[in-house]
Chain A
Amino acid sequence: MDRVLVEQARRGDREAFAVLVHQVSDTLYAVAYRILRDTGLAEDALQNALVLAWRRLPHLREVDRFEAWIHRILVHACYDEAQRSRPWSANVRLLPVEGPSTPDSTADVAARDELERVFRRIPVDQRAVFVLHHYLGLPLVEIAEMLGIPAGTARSRLYYATQGLRAALISDAALELEKGHSA
């Protein structure tokens, strides 16, 4: 991240901030989408996070921590969007062709659908830690610092997210077996 750009933006330079936005928006959006699992909500979270970051930029003390700082703002924007979102909101976006070059097997597709379904049941703060850890590859200590939470809390959120996923998958598998037996 260009330190000079951050300094300029901090002093009110909108053009410098626009350059920063173009540098970070892809990652921010990718994270937001993975936490919220909804393109519309992710776009709203991204927009709100960017505007809030612009407003609060003069408060940023450590310019070198800009990326961690803006990720923190984004995660909080995701919390807000998750609270606002309705459980019945549909995600009807047509996915762009950017997935794996080889087509997924039926089993893969089924597994992904299953993950998609159960991931939405996990609390959003646990989802955030899960995404930051498994998608961005951040260590838990860094996630804790980024989100302003104790390291133990970050660890437990990741643990409960993983356990929640597993429990949901086992439960769904048992349900499928039950259906098979009764059929």
Chain B
Amino acid sequence: MTDDRSLERAARSWLESGPTEAPDHAVEAALLRIQTTRQDRVTPVLWRLPKMNGVARLFAAVATVGVVVLAGLFTLRPGSPPNVGASASPNPSASAGEASSPSAPATPSVAACALITTREAAPFGPYGAGTGASANGSGTGAETRCQYTGGDIFLTLTLTNPGGTAAFDLVKAIPGARAIPDLGADRGGGLLGAEGVFDPATKTLYVAKGDALVAILAGSSAQSPETRLATETAIARILVGRL
């Protein structure tokens, strides 16, 4: 049986002789396990072209290097602010004012905190202008929050963007909520496309523009709803142009 042909013949015959049917219990056990097993998720690799030849690869590599170099030059160019984004303010005049004052408290780089600077917020605090205020940002993505304190928290801004339109629809449906028509007037008297709704129950003013919604909660609990509304409206007029 040791020459190749007879060996193969014998081996084939021997292989044929084993079991040819899977035991039912093994198959059933497998099917039972499958009932509680999730399939893998297939995520398409969108960033990769299906076929890249050598030239295309070279172009892609050169382009990538170029982008990295340009980004580096832009970031490290002489005269660029060392803390880009840390105290960015959408209001150029306010930024200039803060930059000229070394004691101006920094505003956190949270979207809600970019709506109004601490300097602009300070006059609405319990001690008035000149006493300063600090801001604490929280949240990421679509919902961010900024709280301004000057001893106590005197202003809370909650920004929803995107998704503000849907949230604003819910706000408008709050029983007792009323529209604030004279909101968002810019220097030219335009409304800047903003809408306002005040909820007297929570003393919160909601300002919506585009798909952004900001909830303004200002003042102290001892103040009347009308006083609170007046304060919040004043704040709204500052920030509505930045939405």
Contacts and interface: CB of A to CB of B under 8 A. Distances in A.
Nearest to A96: B19
B74 interface: no
Given A162-B7, A165-B11, A169-B1, A98 B20 contact: yes
Contacts of B2: 166, 169-170, 173
Contacts of B12: 134-135
| Interface range on chain A (Cβ under 8 Å from partner) | 35 or more
Given A18-B31, A112-B17, A166-B4, A43 B23 contact: yes
A103 interface: no
Contacts, number: 107
Tell me what chain A mostly uses at the interface: helix, strand, loop, or mixed. helix
A95 B35 CA distance: 31
A58 interface: yes
Nearest to A25: B22
A95 B38 CA distance: 36
B241 to A, nearest CB: 50
A59 B39 CA distance: 10
B54 to A, nearest CB: 25
B8 interface: yes
B37 A54 contact: yes
Contacts of B7: 162, 165-166, 169
A24 to B, nearest CB: 9
A1 interface: no
B10 interface: yes
Contact of B20 (A26, A59, A116): A26
A39 B37 contact: no
Given A47-B33, A55-B37, A162-B4, A25 B27 contact: yes
B102 interface: no
Nearest to A32: B22
Contacts of A160: none
A28 interface: yes
Contacts of A121: none
B5 to A, nearest CB: 11
Contacts of A165: 7, 11
Interface-centre pick from A18, A47, A56, A134 (highest chain B CB count, 10 A): A47
B40 A58 contact: yes
A55 B40 contact: yes
B45 interface: no
Contacts of B33: 47, 51
A30 interface: yes
Contacts of A166: 2, 4, 7
B141 interface: no
A50 interface: yes
Interface of B: 1-2, 4, 7-8, 10-12, 14-23, 26-27, 29-31, 33-35, 37-42
11 contacts: A18-B31, A21-B31, A30-B21, A30-B22, A95-B19, A111-B14, A112-B17, A115-B10, A162-B4, A162-B7, A166-B2
Interface of A: 12, 14, 17-18, 21-22, 25-26, 28-30, 33-34, 39, 43, 46-47, 50-51, 54-59, 95-96, 98-100, 111-112, 115-116, 130-131, 134-135, 162, 165-166, 169-170, 173
The 8 closest A-B pairs by CB, nearest first: A29-B22, A50-B30, A25-B22, A43-B26, A47-B30, A135-B15, A58-B42, A115-B14
